[in-house]
Structure 1
Amino acid sequence: MKSPFHGFRFPAAVISCAVRWYHRFNLSLRDIEELLPERGVSVTYETIRNWCDRFGAQFMRRAKAWRGKPGSTWHLDEVFVKLRGEPYVLWRAVDEHGAELDVLQQKRRDTAAAKRFFSNVLRSHPVPTKIVTNQLHSYPAAKAEMPELAGVKHVFVKASARVNNRAENSHQPTRRRERQMQGFRDPRRTQAFLSRFGPIRQHFALPRHRMNAACHRAQLKARLHAWYEWAGVQLFSVN
């Protein structure tokens, strides 16, 4: 098969590196534009934006497939974000290990929106054994209308109980990125970016506090090898 990077001015190693930086670190497109000349690459931030738009979804799908089967418990939560001053609701689902399952941006927080979010997650993940949500009434109302979720246990928690921290904490990287980008703007581009951002960031964001230095280096090296293998690039030696 022809490489998806075929015909581009720069090789896959450069493009995949720029895409990884943008989704893993709190860097703007212009920050990456300034970093690349140190590696002999002179491109505009618009070119980097094009690379991220074109190849980000491909790497996101690979990252999701690489982590294997998700957990059987869903933690769901929603948070408000503003796009050009207009409020939107960002729905997010993670499993019991904190791996992001899906994210969906919608205008409303009602039953129809919750049902749409459930359907969106079920399209790419098996039916869970348990879901954990806050006390928003839209969740049980939407669940009752979906036959595939009829036998799924539903646990309600209060925000103050901190039982749903898996979902609540998963919003923090998005909040940090929102501040760094000085707010989100276009709804379509925001949805596309956040769909890619979570899985790619989590592919490299290892639980450093739960592993020693040697284990962390080995895990990071394995994930870097996987990333460049997806791009068809042989990774340099990492000690």
Structure 2
Amino acid sequence: MDSAPPSYKGRRHPVEVIAHCVWLYFRFPLSFREVEELILGRGVLVSHETVHRWCARLGQAYAGALRRRQPRPGDERHLGEVFMKIDGEQRSTCGGPSTPTAMSLDFLVQSRRDTAAARHFFRRLLKKTHALPRVVVTDELRSYGAAHREVMPSVEHRSHKGLNNRAENSHQPTRRRERAMKGFRSTGGAQRFLAAFSGISPHYRSRHHLMTAPGYRAGMTLRFAIWGQATGAAGA
């Protein structure tokens, strides 16, 4: 497993500043200009264009490093769709977690909801996880059933709206972020953002209401330590 942080060769800002800006943007509903203002308040001069470049070039690398440090995904996949506005048009985005607290294994923005689109997503998911799940849970969209029979016929498929609340709930932060951003300008931009957002934001989301205050603080301290390792800021 390659766990080395990304290269910062040629960057004139410290690793800690770069990683902090990327964390602010993907963790909270902030614009690039708002991140610029927050960093300026700490005495660091960084333009919003630079923050944009850092997020575009390093966001997916950070998310991938965090995913590689996650426990092995469970054998149950909950997959669902969320509709997002991209360049003024509604597009379908597939994704979903394997456990209630896990980050989404993948996100795929597509213009269709047919069998070919579902088949593409299933094959992409298998390639990324390198393992067949025991159970796949989806909503009642028929194209999921057809794609399942083609790609993974030996895997149990459960199709019911009520069973897939886990996937639906995992999309809520994405919906809130889309509203804050007032949609996306392009399919490629949406795909790049979601690939990073689905790996970084859930890393800091814990089930706070089920934890004691000391337990929550200890858990968050560990998550920040993992972030430092993934970005290289811990050894800077």
Q: Normalising by structure 1, report the TM-score.
A: 0.92
Amino acid at match of 1:107: S
Q: Is the 8 A contact 2:6 2:61 kept in 1?
A: no
2:45 is the counterpart of 1:47: no
Q: Is the 8 A contact 2:66 2:230 kept in 1?
A: no
Name the residue aligned to 2:112. Answer: 108
Q: Pairwise mapping of residues 29-44 of structure 1 onto structure 2 (< 5 A)?
A: 29-44=32-47
Q: Is the 8 A contact 1:225 1:235 kept in 2?
A: no
CA distance in 1, matches of 2:170, 2:96: 9
Q: Is the 8 A contact 2:135 2:158 kept in 1?
A: yes
**Deviations 1:13-59, CA, capped at 9 Å, x for gaps:** 00000011111111111110110012211111110010011111111
**Deviations 1:112-143, CA, capped at 9 Å, x for gaps:** 00000001111111210001111111011011
Equivalent of 2:137 in 132, 141, 159: 132
Per-residue deviation, 1:235: 8.0
Q: Is the 8 A contact 2:5 2:230 kept in 1?
A: no
Amino acid at match of 1:201: S
CA distance in 1, matches of 2:5, 2:204: 27
Q: Count residues with an aligned counterpart.
A: 231
Name the residue aligned to 2:121. Answer: 117
Q: Is the 8 A contact 1:98 1:170 kept in 2?
A: no
Amino acid at match of 1:165: N
Name the residue aligned to 1:157. Answer: 160
Q: Sequence identity, in percent?
A: 42
Deviates more, 1:223-232 or 1:30-39: 223-232
Equivalent of 2:90 in 81, 87, 91: 87
Deviates more, 1:103-112 or 1:202-211: 202-211
For the aligned residue pairs, the C-alpha RMSD in angstroms reads 1.7
Q: Pairwise mapping of residues 8-87 of structure 1 onto structure 2 (< 5 A)?
A: 8-87=11-90
CA distance in 1, matches of 2:26, 2:139: 29
SS of residue in 1 equivalent to 2:41: helix
Name the residue aligned to 2:148. Answer: 143
Q: Is the 8 A contact 2:5 2:229 kept in 1?
A: no
Unaligned runs of 5+ in 1: none
Name the residue aligned to 1:182. Answer: 182
Amino acid at match of 1:203: H
CA distance in 2, matches of 1:175, 1:41: 31
Per-residue deviation, 1:151: 1.3
Q: Pairwise mapping of residues 187-202 of structure 1 onto structure 2 (< 5 A)?
A: 187-202=187-202
Q: 1:166 to 1:227 in 2, by over 3 A?
A: same
SS of residue in 2 equivalent to 1:164: helix
Q: Normalising by structure 2, report the TM-score.
A: 0.93
CA distance in 1, matches of 2:154, 2:231: 41
Amino acid at match of 2:137: V
Amino acid at match of 1:95: S
Q: Is the 8 A contact 1:73 1:128 kept in 2?
A: yes
Q: 1:2 to 1:113 in 2, by over 3 A?
A: closer
CA distance in 1, matches of 2:193, 2:6: 23
Query: Higher relative contact order at CA 8 Å, sep ≥6: structure 1 or structure 2?
Result: 2
